[in-house]
Each structure stands twice: as C-alpha cells, then as structure tokens.
C-alpha cells in the first residue's frame, strides 16, 4: 500500500488535482477537469461536487493520508472550515481547505508571503506576521470589485469607451477592439451583449482585446491596465496595513501570467506603495502548492 497525498486547486474555470507518492517523492497522478457546476453558495453541495472528483484520483491500494484543497470562492475561515468538515465526512480522509490564493506561496517554494490571483477575478491572501491569522482583500465579485481581474478590466474598458462616446468623441482603438471581440456593430449592441449575452461570467474572455488595443497605442486601454495594476497593488497594501507578512508577493492567474503589461503595472505601483517588497510571477501550477501543503501536514 502506498501512502499518498492529494493536492487540489479549484479555480473559476478548471479544477486540477495532483497525487503525490510520499515514499517515492514523485507525482503519481495529475488530472484536470472543468469547474462547471462549482459554487460555494451551498457548501454541502460544493463538498459533494468536489468529493466526486477527488474520489477518482487515488490508485487502487493507495492510502490517502491528507487532502489539501485550495477552493475558489471560500473567502472566510468559517467557509473553509465548514467545507473541510463536509469533505472529510464525504471522503473519509483527512482534509484541509484554504482559499485558492493560499496555494501560491508554497507553490513558489516559500513558507510565508502574500498570494495574489488575477484571473477571472482577483483576490489577495496572506497570514498575519505574528498571529498567523488568515487575512484577505478583494474577491468581492466582478460587479462589485475584483479590480485588475480579466472581468474588471473589460468592465472598466467598456465604461471608459462609453463615457468617451457620451462626450461625443469618436471610437478609438479600445472601442473598436471591444466591438470586434464581441462581434457587434456598435456601442448599443456592445452594452446589450455585455448585459445579456452570457452576462458578467463571460467578460474575462474578452480581456485580450484590452491588451491588444493598448499594444496598438490606445491611451485609453493603457490607462485601464495601469488602473488595474494599481488595484492589485492596493489589495496587497491593504493586507500589509493589517499586519500581513510581506516577505514576498507571489502573483498568479490566467490574466496576469499571460499579460506582461499588467504584471509590469502591478510591480510599478507596488514599488511605490511598498518599497522593497519582492514580487514573483508564478510559473508553477498552483496545484503544486496544494501538494506541498499536504506534504507538510503529514
């Protein structure tokens, strides 16, 4: 019988699960599935959804000694604790649940720091440097916040384009890029498409249009990206003011990893707000952080 641990990264788009054989010190399984159906409004439902997928990971004869799941949407310690208990009951295995941003620091090979996600949404998570209490900033959703995320960048870009139209100014590259991305002929159709055709959940898919417009020379798009980077730096600054360990900041997420201009804007703003704080753009999959946390807890 092989003693193994399972690391899970539940993201807004996909869920990745990795099996580590402790004796061999090697990854023995890696599985990615869509996150379709994942939600944290009902934590009992979330536990059922996740338990069904985790149960397919171990091999015959494996003894699972720890599961660590980084869960998108688990924004409070209370939510994480409840999901943890529900999962343990469903799986019959020892389980630890954290917010998915908490996977970033261990995935980077570090023991302390702030994890920052900028993908479909955005959130920063850390631990108090003295009490180790969990701290978070952001993660309020794409309508109310999540500045610097793909969804918020598209939201802010559309608002900037529509405000320019209200002033009577002609379309510039950002407006044209959004129309092309949505496949619509004009701004009324753009507003309708963003409101009704898939809604907020699809906004992040159009984030590349903002960066394409910025590369084309759109000052409007460049300002949207600058403000997005500043919004992400603000999340980290909030945690620093509340006592978080700022030994390192590890950033990850589909948007900030794929778009160097956003990471550059974030780094530039953070250097002004928190001089000397080191930043790392995570290239390792965050699920590696879940595996590392599981290994440390055995």
Per-residue pLDDT tens digits for 48-60: 999 999 999 999 9
Q: Enter the tokens of residue 38.
A: 């994942």
Same domain, 19 and 129: no
Average pLDDT over residues 2-21: 92
| Domain region containing 166 | 111-281
Same domain, 248 and 210: yes
Average pLDDT over residues 18-37: 93
Predicted confidence (pLDDT) at residue 287 exceeds the cutoff of 90:
yes
Same domain, 206 and 98: no
Predicted confidence (pLDDT) at residue 156 exceeds the cutoff of 90:
yes
**pTM for this structure?**
0.88
Same domain, 45 and 117: no
Same domain, 59 and 122: no
Per-residue pLDDT tens digits for 90-110: 999 999 999 889 999 999 999
Per-residue pLDDT tens digits for 231-279: 999 999 999 999 999 999 999 998 999 999 999 999 999 999 999 999 9
d(CA 153, CA 119): 10
Same domain, 128 and 271: yes
C-beta separation of 14 from 32 below 8 A:
yes
d(CA 295, CA 21): 10
Domain count, the chain: 2
Same domain, 96 and 138: no
Q: How far is CA 8 from CA 64, 96, 138, 202, 218, in A?
A: 13, 10, 22, 24, 40
Same domain, 141 and 287: no
Same domain, 32 and 152: no
Same domain, 229 and 174: yes
d(CA 186, CA 3): 59
Same domain, 8 and 77: yes
pLDDT at residue number 140: 83
Q: Find the CATH number of the domain harbouring 252.
A: 3.30.420.40
For the chain, the maximum distance between any two Cα atoms, rounded to a whole number of angstroms, is 72
């Amino acid at each position: 019988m092989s003693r193994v641990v399972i690391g899970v990264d539940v993201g807004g788009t996909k869920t990745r699960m990795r099996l580590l054989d402790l004796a061999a010190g090697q990854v023995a399984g890696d599985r990615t599935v869509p996150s379709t159906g994942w939600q944290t409004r009902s934590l009992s439902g979330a536990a059922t959804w996740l338990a069904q997928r985790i149960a397919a990971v171990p091999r015959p004869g494996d003894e699972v000694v720890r599961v660590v799941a980084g869960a998108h949407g688990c924004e409070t310690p209370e939510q994480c604790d409840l999901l943890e208990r529900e999962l343990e009951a469903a799986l019959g295995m020892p389980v630890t649940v954290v917010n998915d941003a908490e996977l970033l620091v261990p995935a980077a090979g570090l023991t302390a720091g702030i994890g920052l996600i900028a993908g479909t949404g955005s959130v920063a998570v850390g631990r108090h440097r003295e009490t180790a209490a969990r701290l978070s900033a952001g993660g309020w959703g794409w309508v109310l916040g999540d500045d610097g995320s793909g969804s918020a960048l598209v939201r802010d870009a559309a608002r900037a384009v529509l405000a320019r139209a209200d002033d009577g100014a002609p379309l510039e590259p950002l407006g044209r890029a959004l129309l092309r991305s949505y496949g619509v002929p004009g701004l009324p159709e753009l507003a309708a498409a963003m409101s009704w055709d898939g809604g907020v959940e699809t906004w992040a898919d159009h984030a590349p249009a903002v960066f394409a417009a910025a590369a084309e020379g759109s000052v409007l798009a460049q300002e949207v990206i600058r403000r997005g980077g500043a919004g992400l730096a603000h999340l980290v600054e909030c945690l620093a003011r509340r006592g978080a360990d700022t030994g390192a900041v590890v950033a990850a997420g589909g948007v900030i990893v794929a778009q160097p201009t956003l990471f550059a804007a974030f780094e530039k703003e953070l250097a002004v707000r928190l001089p000397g704080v080191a930043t790392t753009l995570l290239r390792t999959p965050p699920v590696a952080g879940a595996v590392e946390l599981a290994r440390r807890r055995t």
